[in-house]
């Protein structure tokens, strides 16, 4: 009986130690996003070029060596990544199953009190779908990377539409644009938001006449076909959205 009692105490103590270690590990790092600036070019071939300009500050804790940034689907091509000094950063496709992501290795470890700025460019296919709410249009909905453990001080999104599209042709989803700009002769639709909380998401979307692109998705299958009756917003949210969960290491 005495031995069993002692064994129970040892096991209980071990459980407490392991739980404490897990809690400490979860709290060993804090970081925030100074800015997250996103630019998307919608190409006539139906693909998009996706550009992220990130500024990441480590407030305290274990150094950061690499960042995983998700992609909307597996049909993407990695371009290049650079830091604020113009140094090329190694990248790789680390997708697994339906978890699509790019690994960006920082040039040097980010230590507490420091800020790292870097960018990443990818090309993503099959991002435009027939707009079921606006006949003759195609649409794309996009949600920038959100961070489960970090706030975002400054979020900006610029979507550059195909050549020839004018502002009176463009429709948006839930969040109306803040402004429009001209980018190299093409219309750009612009959104911005400040002080987003951890895990806060900011979806935006555009719809425009299909004649301005050569390719878009018109024949949904499987779950996409099941959802098509619910319109562009729901369909794009499931299949056209940039669902990105950023992971820090």
Structure tokens at 149: 């453990």
Q: 198 in a domain, yes or no? A: yes
Domain interval for residue 51: 31-248
CA–CA–CA angle 140, 236, 43 (5° rounding): 20
Q: What is the pLDDT of residue 219?
A: 60
Q: 25 in a domain, yes or no? A: no
Q: 120 in a domain, yes or no? A: yes
The total number of structural domains that make up the chain: 1
Q: What is the pLDDT of residue 41?
A: 98
Q: 10 in a domain, yes or no? A: no
217-238 exposure pattern, b = at least 16 Cβ within 10 A, e = fewer: beebeeeeeebeeeebbebbbe
Compute the distance between CA of residue 134 and CA of residue 150 in angstroms, rounded to an integer: 37
Rounded-to-5 percentages of helix, strand, coil across the chain: 20, 45, 35
Q: What is the pLDDT of residue 232?
A: 39
Reduce the DSSP state of residue 62 to 3 states and report it: coil
Q: What is the pLDDT of residue 18?
A: 42
Dihedral sign computed on CA atoms, order 171, 186, 179, 121: positive
CATH for 180: 2.60.40.1730
Q: 12 in a domain, yes or no? A: no
Q: How many CB atoms lie within 10 A of CB 215?
A: 15
CA atoms in the 13 A half-sphere facing the CB of 14: 6
Q: 86 in a domain, yes or no? A: yes
pLDDT beneath 70: ranges in the chain: 1-27, 219-249
Q: 200 in a domain, yes or no? A: yes
Compute the distance between CA of residue 91 and CA of residue 67 in angstroms, rounded to an integer: 10
Q: 22 in a domain, yes or no? A: no
Compute the distance between CA of residue 142 and CA of residue 49 in angstroms, rounded to an integer: 13
């Amino acid at each position: 009986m005495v031995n069993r009692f002692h064994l129970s105490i040892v096991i209980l103590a071990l459980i407490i130690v392991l739980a404490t270690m897990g809690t400490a590990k979860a709290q060993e790092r804090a970081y925030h996003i100074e800015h997250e600036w996103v630019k998307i070019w919608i190409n006539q071939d139906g693909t998009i070029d996706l550009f992220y300009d990130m500024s990441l500050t480590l407030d305290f804790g274990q150094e950061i060596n690499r960042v995983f940034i998700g992609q909307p689907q597996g049909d993407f091509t990695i371009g290049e990544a650079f830091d604020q000094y113009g140094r090329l950063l190694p990248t790789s496709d680390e997708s697994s199953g339906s978890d699509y992501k790019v690994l960006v290795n920082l040039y040097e470890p980010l230590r507490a009190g420091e800020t790292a700025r870097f960018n990443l460019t990818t090309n993503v296919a099959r991002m435009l779908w027939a707009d079921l709410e606006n006949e003759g249009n195609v649409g794309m909905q996009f949600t920038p990377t959100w961070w489960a453990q970090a706030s975002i001080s400054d979020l900006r999104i610029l979507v550059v539409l195909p050549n020839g599209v004018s502002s009176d042709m463009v429709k948006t989803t839930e969040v109306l644009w803040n402004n429009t700009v001209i980018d190299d002769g093409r219309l750009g639709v612009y959104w911005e938001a400040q002080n987003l909380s951890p895990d806060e998401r900011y979806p935006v979307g555009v719809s425009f006449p299909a004649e301005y692109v050569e390719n878009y998705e018109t024949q949904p299958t499987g779950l996409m076909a099941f959802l098509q009756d619910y319109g562009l917003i729901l369909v794009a949210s499931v299949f056209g959205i940039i669902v990105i969960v950023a992971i820090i290491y």
